[in-house]
Amino acid sequence: MTASISTNAIVFAGSPMSNLALYHQIRFAVGDPTALIVLPTGPNSSTAPHRLLMIRDIEMERAKQTAKADEVVCPKDFAPSDWQTGDRELETAQSVAECLVQKNIKSVTVDRTLPAIYAHYITKAGIAIQCDPDLGVLDRRSKDQEELGHLRQAQSITEGCMRMACETIARAATDASGQLIHEGEVLTSERMFQLIDIWFLNHGGATPHGSIVACGPTGADCHERGHGPLYTGQPIIIDLFPYIKSSHYHGDCTRCVVHGEIPPEVAKMHAAVVAAKNAAQDATKAGVTADAVHAETIRVIKEHGYQSGIPTEDAPDSTCSMVHGTGHGIGLDVHEPPLIDVGGPALVEGDVLTIEPGLYCKAIGGIRIEDMVAVTKDGIENFNTLPTDLSWA
């Protein structure tokens, strides 16, 4: 990351706990206003960019030990004459602007996440701002070895919970109406959410975005979370995308389970989805476009006799279609660039993606199978080890 002219700097700012672009730059988690200023030169006219981290004073010692920065300061070190205390965000924004003035910075490049309060005080100080929408995006896409390790761990934890969820459903009893019974009570989507949340809590994860356990026709809406009783003989989509507390990275895995006998049309849909997933994964490698990977998915879906795209309002309930893209990037966020969809960009080595084709039918429900893969020069590394079967008993 280099500045274009000697008086230009790069600024990332916000709370690293919520501004993940900033967290990725510094790899230091804190809930207070923080800024990273990448100056064009370091002390003693060093030609290398100098990474100055501005953080709350009580966090400075920890930051000096682990944050990715050359220098750590606090807002008070650059307090302007009209400094407004009592509001940490205002204090930090004003001090960032004053720091830039003292460093003789005339213009700054910022990323798409910069809070408006920082832009306000930087421009008020007479410093020009240019937003680069792609700043930091490619850095986050191409995962380093530390990040790949975090994502492998996240997916391993996710798979552990997935096995528990699928086996709980597959091994449940049934009542006369076909409802599943677990520990003497009707097994519902809501009860599965509780079991999933508890499992992740016990294994270092959390589900801030929830989970999906959608049974039968409910699963025909690909993002319906699920509700009510689960039934034998119907496809149940389970989609888990937890946050791992120790690393701040996410897992993401989808499997489907059918309790009891598998209906023939469900088996046919499942076979098409698995074949599409395999074809997409075979097509994935650095340099190939996400568009081309998605095209492979759709090719196989159509070869199996199914449609793509959202059905028209007057389409019969028997219509079965893949209504979404093949997948997405994943890391600190569940959904990150690139989209594996029409018009998707070239894949880069180190991209970590979900490959998750699905088929959805109002009369039957949905089938979706999702793996997490890392893009390599010659193909992929698949982080998943779980089977993709419908039977889990």
Query: How far is the C-alpha of 358 from the C-alpha of 179, rounded, in Å?
Result: 25
The answer to whether 344 and 352 have CB atoms below 8 angstroms apart is: no
Q: Half-sphere exposure of residue 141, counting CA atoms within 13 Å on the CB side?
A: 19
For 310, which DSSP code?
Answer: P
Query: How far is the C-alpha of 252 from the C-alpha of 377, rounded, in Å?
Result: 23
Element (H, E) at 110: strand 107-110
Q: What is the dihedral of CA 337, 154, 324, 308, to 10 degrees?
A: 120
pLDDT at 48: 85
Q: What angle do CA 200, 164, 351 make, to 5 degrees?
A: 60
Tell me the longest C-alpha to C-alpha distance in the chain: 81
Please list the pLDDT of the chain residue by residue as tens digits (393 residues).
Answer: 433 445 799 999 999 999 999 999 999 999 999 999 999 987 766 678 999 999 999 999 999 999 999 999 999 999 999 998 889 999 999 999 999 999 999 999 999 999 999 999 999 999 999 999 999 999 999 999 999 999 999 999 999 999 999 999 999 999 999 999 999 999 999 999 999 999 999 999 999 999 999 999 999 999 899 999 999 999 999 999 999 999 999 999 999 999 999 999 999 999 999 999 999 999 999 999 999 999 999 999 999 999 999 999 999 999 999 999 999 999 999 999 999 999 999 999 999 999 999 999 999 999 999 999 999 999 999 999 999 999 998
| AA identity, residue 85 | T
**Residue 224: C-alpha distances to residues 51, 131, 221, 246 (Å):** 44, 36, 5, 29
pTM (2 decimals)? 0.92
Query: How far is the C-alpha of 197 from the C-alpha of 202, rounded, in Å?
Result: 9
pLDDT at 46: 64
The answer to whether 359 and 330 have CB atoms below 8 angstroms apart is: no
DSSP β-ladder status, 307-308 and 320-322: parallel
The answer to whether 80 and 97 have CB atoms below 8 angstroms apart is: yes
Query: How far is the C-alpha of 208 from the C-alpha of 29, rounded, in Å?
Result: 17
The answer to whether 234 and 390 have CB atoms below 8 angstroms apart is: no
For 348, which DSSP code?
Answer: -
